[in-house]
């Protein structure tokens, strides 16, 4: 066992791994927020609650229908995404012409409702979710033990993030989407059904959050408040990265996760606050955010 800066490498690498895991969730969630904001001009405060709903959906699917982890990875995001689309059709669509802040207030209210209901029926204590058998155990890398499940989370979320980036930046569908973000009226004039595109975009962003929730379920317990503290950190991540760039959201998410993990090793007292401190510094030095365009 060797040491780096007086810290045992085992501790350092395991915190680094935890940092990457958290970073995966930051990246998936801030990506979803950025996609939704681009199309709807709404900051989706319900995002944390929808992440929690994803975990709960996986838990309930296993409990009542016996559907396991692997199908739940697809089924839960689809279900939560459909709920999201229903929310968009019934409520959010009336707010596009108003000030941004009404979208924030409405989605904040929805988050309170969803979290309150979950707490009423399942209590505040976490519910355990079994890890799938194929991913139990770990590899011994010599300098550290790598639990297979954690490696899977990082690989899976990185894949989903990059696939999302590819679809938006490199395909025809993505081109429509980007065009509709810039000028919805013109895109509509070309015969593309923009309102339907908006609905699907919201559903997709929400599904990303639910996907993160399903992946989080075996690591953290499934609990009603798992999303509310996370979403505030993700807001800080979004302020740091700026919402103008998809790749920016991914890089910032993973990067800040790693920094947070390292802080836990070197200066544990600050691990809760380091992302907010970085946000304050970024605001002083580069007010538009690392990847942001000045409005």
Partner 1 sequence: MEQSVAAATVTPPVSSSSRNWSEPLAFAIMVAALAIAPLYIYPMFLMQALCFALFACAFNLLIGYGGLLSFGHALYFGWASYLAAHSAKVWGFPPELAILTGTLTAAVLGLVAGSLAIRRQGIYFAMITLALAQMMFFFALQMKFTGGEDGIQAVPRGRLFGLIDLADTFNMYVTVLLIFLAGFLLIYRIIHSPFGEVLKAIRENEPRAISLGYKTDRYKLLAFVLSATLAGLAGSTKAIVLQIASLTDVDWPMSGEVVLMALVGGLGTVFGPVAGAFVIIAMQTYLAQVGQWVTVIQGAIFVICVLLFRRGIIGELAAYLRIKL
The footprint of partner 1 (CB under 8 A) covers: 37, 43, 91, 94-95, 98-102, 104-106, 108-117, 119-120, 228-229, 232-233, 235-236, 238-239, 269, 272-273, 276-277, 279-280, 283-284, 287-288, 295
- We find the least distance from the C-beta atom of residue 131 to partner 1, in angstroms, to be 30
Nearer to partner 1, 61 or 265 (CB): 265
DSSP reduced 3-state for 139: strand
CA distances 20 to 27, 141, 188, 231, 255, Å, are 10, 17, 41, 17, 8
- We find the least distance from the C-beta atom of residue 11 to partner 1, in angstroms, to be 21
- We find the least distance from the C-beta atom of residue 113 to partner 1, in angstroms, to be 4
Q: For residue 100, with 0-12 CB atoms within 10 Å meaning exposed, 13-18 middle and 19 or more buried, which class applies?
A: middle
- We find the least distance from the C-beta atom of residue 118 to partner 1, in angstroms, to be 10
Strand partners, 147: 138
Distance CA 239, CA 289 (A): 6
Nearer to partner 1, 45 or 204 (CB): 45
- Residue among 288, 34, 19, 39 at smallest CA distance from 182: 39
How many CA atoms does the CB half-sphere of 10 hold within 13 Å?
A: 4
Nearer to partner 1, 5 or 121 (CB): 121
Token pair for 102: 């009404």
Nearer to partner 1, 6 or 120 (CB): 120
- We find the least distance from the C-beta atom of residue 49 to partner 1, in angstroms, to be 10
CA distances 143 to 132, 138, 293, Å, are 26, 13, 42
State the DSSP H helix or E strand holding residue 38, giving kind and residue range, or none if neither: helix 9-40
- We find the least distance from the C-beta atom of residue 127 to partner 1, in angstroms, to be 17
Q: How far is CA 144 from the centre of its chain?
A: 27
Nearer to partner 1, 61 or 249 (CB): 249
Nearer to partner 1, 94 or 266 (CB): 94
Within 10 angstroms of residue 116's Cβ, the number of other Cβ atoms is 12
- We find the least distance from the C-beta atom of residue 283 to partner 1, in angstroms, to be 5
Distance CA 10, CA 161 (A): 28
Nearer to partner 1, 74 or 98 (CB): 98
């Amino acid at each position: 066992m060797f040491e780096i800066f007086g810290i045992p490498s085992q501790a350092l690498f395991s915190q680094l791994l935890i940092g990457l895991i958290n970073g995966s969730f930051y990246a998936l969630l801030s990506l979803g927020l950025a996609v939704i904001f681009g199309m709807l001009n709404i900051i989706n405060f319900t995002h944390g609650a929808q992440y929690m709903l994803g975990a709960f959906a996986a838990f309930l699917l296993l409990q009542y229908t016996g559907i396991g982890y692997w199908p739940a990875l697809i089924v839960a995001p689809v279900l939560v995404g459909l709920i999201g689309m229903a929310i968009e059709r019934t409520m959010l669509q009336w707010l596009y012409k108003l000030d941004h802040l009404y979208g924030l207030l409405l989605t904040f209210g929805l988050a309170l409702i969803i979290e309150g209901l979950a707490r009423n029926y399942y209590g505040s204590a976490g519910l355990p979710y079994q890890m799938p058998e194929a991913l139990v155990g770990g590899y011994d890398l010599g300098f550290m033990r790598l639990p297979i499940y954690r490696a899977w989370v990082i690989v899976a979320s990185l894949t989903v993030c990059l696939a999302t980036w590819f679809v938006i930046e490199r395909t025809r569908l993505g081109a429509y989407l980007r065009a509709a973000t810039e000028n919805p009226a013109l895109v509509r004039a070309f015969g593309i059904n923009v309102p339907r595109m908006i609905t699907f975009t919201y559903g997709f962003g929400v599904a990303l959050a639910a996907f993160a929730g399903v992946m989080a379920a075996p690591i953290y317990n499934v609990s009603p408040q798992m999303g509310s503290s996370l979403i505030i950190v993700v807001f800080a991540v979004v302020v740091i990265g700026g919402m103008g760039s998809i790749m920016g959201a991914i890089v910032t998410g993973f990067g800040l996760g790693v920094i947070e993990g390292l802080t836990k090793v070197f200066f544990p007292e600050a691990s809760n606050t380091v992302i907010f401190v970085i946000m304050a510094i970024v605001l002083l030095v580069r007010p538009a955010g690392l990847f942001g365009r000045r409005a």
